[in-house]
């Protein structure tokens, strides 16, 4: 199986362009899934505090036995409404949450730490970002970034901090390709990472146009979609707990989509999200 390409973040850290996500994987299944993924060849693992599977994820990392420096581990701050994220107390809360994630993962550092949601109606993300600056400066997070941020929130970070997020993880797939946001990222040196890169396995993977492209290449639709992400310069983190699909999702470097294929994929855009709009999403 070919080597997965990497994307160089704006601080020089390299992230594999194809990673393994564990959203909705129960903690007691995460260890087996993560171990299988690493043994298959994945070197990037993506989890989050709110997934409640950092313990299992850390166990899978340990069980796989790969050298720590070969792995790229991402987790995320669950900046929920249960804590006060303003002022020094908010920055201290970030550091406490980060320490808790490290402990659960059984790691001394993570390669990437993300603010999980902007919650723009509260405006606390700029204060939270100050603690992220400290985490990167201390080397406990090799890179820091955000998730689900829009142009307005990113612009505010530019105005209040000299540290540009290394990456923004957002919903992105051929039905919802986020052209404008990706262009904004490219302009400011921010890598784009896709959550639900396969559209959560719903209508996207049965789209007749994509089925035809897959048949042309003797591949699955999932492999075609992941290949589209790679050729588009997007970092993707597909999720599966099925060993055969874990292997299948990694096997996407042995073929190339041509201009006709890319035109077909571009034509399936619907502009519809699967998840909530981050600009209005909040929780208690």
Tokens of 259: 């201009």
| Mean pLDDT, residues 141-154 taken together | 98
Is the pTM higher than 0.75? Answer: yes
Please state, as a whole number, how many other Cβ atoms lie within 10 Å of the Cβ of residue 272: 9
Q: Which of the residues are catalytic?
A: 51
pLDDT reading at 266 higher than 90: yes
**pLDDT grade, residue 283 (50/70/90)?**
confident
Angle at 136 between CA 15 and CA 181, to 5 degrees: 55
pLDDT at residue 81, as a whole number: 82
User: What integer best gives the mean pLDDT of the chain?
Assistant: 96
Distance CA 151, CA 226 (A): 25
pLDDT at residue 201, as a whole number: 78
pLDDT at residue 284, as a whole number: 63
pLDDT at residue 125, as a whole number: 97
The larger pLDDT score, comparing residue 149 to residue 84, is at 149
Q: Find the DSSP H helices in the chain.
A: 27-40, 54-64, 87-105, 125-137, 151-160, 179-188, 208-217, 221-231, 243-250, 259-266
| Mean pLDDT, residues 185-211 taken together | 95
| Mean pLDDT, residues 159-188 taken together | 98
| Mean pLDDT, residues 180-190 taken together | 98
Distance CA 251, CA 236 (A): 13
| Mean pLDDT, residues 63-83 taken together | 94
The backbone region for 8, taken as left when phi is positive above 0, alpha when psi lies in -120 to 50, beta otherwise, is beta
In angstroms, the Cα distances linking 69 to 14, 90, 108, 236 are: 12, 31, 12, 20
pLDDT in tens, 207-260: 999 999 999 999 999 999 999 999 999 999 999 889 999 999 999 999 999 999
Q: CATH code for 6-266?
A: 3.20.20.100
**pLDDT grade, residue 196 (50/70/90)?**
very high
Q: Where are the domains of the chain?
A: 6-266
pLDDT reading at 1 higher than 70: no
Q: N- to C-terminal Cα distance for the chain?
A: 45
Tokens of 21: 């996500």
pLDDT in tens, 75-132: 999 998 877 899 999 999 999 999 999 999 999 999 999 999 999 999 899 999 999 9
Angle at 110 between CA 104 and CA 112, to 5 degrees: 125
């Amino acid at each position: 199986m070919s080597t997965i390409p990497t994307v160089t973040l704006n601080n020089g850290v390299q992230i594999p362009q194809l990673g393994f996500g564990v959203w909705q994987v129960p903690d007691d299944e995460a260890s087996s899934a993560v171990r299988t993924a690493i043994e298959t060849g994945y070197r990037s693992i993506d989890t989050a505090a709110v997934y409640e599977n950092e313990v299992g994820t850390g166990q899978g990392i340990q069980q796989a036995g790969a050298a720590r420096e070969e792995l790229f581990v991402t987790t995320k701050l669950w900046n929920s409404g249960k804590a006060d994220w303003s002022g020094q107390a908010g920055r201290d809360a970030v550091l406490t949450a980060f320490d808790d994630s490290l402990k659960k993962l059984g790691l001394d550092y993570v390669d990437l730490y993300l603010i999980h949601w902007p919650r723009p109606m509260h405006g606390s993300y700029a204060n939270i970002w100050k603690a992220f600056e400290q985490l990167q400066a201390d080397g406990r997070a090799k890179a820091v970034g955000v998730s689900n941020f829009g142009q307005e929130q990113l612009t505010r970070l530019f105005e209040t901090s000299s540290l540009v997020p290394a990456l923004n993880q957002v919903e992105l797939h051929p039905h919802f390709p986020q052209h404008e946001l990706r262009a904004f990222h490219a302009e400011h040196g921010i890598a784009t990472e896709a959550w639900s890169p396969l559209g959560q396995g719903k209508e996207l993977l049965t789209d007749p146009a994509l089925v035809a492209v897959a048949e042309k290449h003797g591949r699955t639709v999932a492999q075609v979609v992941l290949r589209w992400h790679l050729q588009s310069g997007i970092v993707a983190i597909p999720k599966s707990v099925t060993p055969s699909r874990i292997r299948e999702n990694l096997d996407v470097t042995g073929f190339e989509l041509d201009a006709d294929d890319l035109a077909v994929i571009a034509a399936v855009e619907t502009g519809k999200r699967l998840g909530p709009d981050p600009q209005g999403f909040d929780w208690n």
